Amino acid sequence: MSNRKLTRLEKSTSILSDSKASQWCYVNTDNEFEFMDSTFVIDANVEEYKVYNRAGDVEDFTNEAYMEEILAVLGNDGIVRFYNQNYDLVEDVCILVK
């Protein structure tokens, strides 16, 4: 048995093969995104979505974040899960419905 990490393609194939619906969602500078008629908010402690040089905080703003999209997936089990741009699961406790 190999301990190698899955490639992004293998991760995405596995995630999407067990889903009813999926969508890449743009995350705005307030860490909000829309999926299935709901607005979700990513907790500020999720490092890859933390916004640096935010407008209103600094004069010369760039609104930089490591990741700017999140994959929302409605699984065949009826549970919605969220994945970052590396197809790593973002824990449920870090995402709330607004």
Q: Looking at residue 62, what is its pLDDT?
A: 67
- Domain of 54, in residue numbers: 20-97
Q: Looking at residue 19, what is its pLDDT?
A: 95
Of 93, 97, 98, the residue nearest 45 (C-alpha): 93
Q: Is residue 10 part of a domain?
A: no
Tokens of 43: 């907790």
Enter the pTM of the model.
Answer: 0.83
- Rounded mean pLDDT of the chain? 87
pLDDT tens for residues 2-12?
678 889 899 99
Which value, to the nearest 10 degrees, does the dihedral of the CA atoms of residues 23, 91, 34, 72 take?
10
Q: How many domains does the chain have?
A: 1
Exposure of 95 by Cβ count < 10 A (0-12 exposed, 13-18 middle, 19+ buried)? buried
Q: Is residue 9 part of a domain?
A: no
Query: What percent of the chain has pLDDT above 70?
Result: 89
Q: Is residue 50 part of a domain?
A: yes
pLDDT tens for residues 40-67?
999 988 989 887 776 666 677 566 777 8
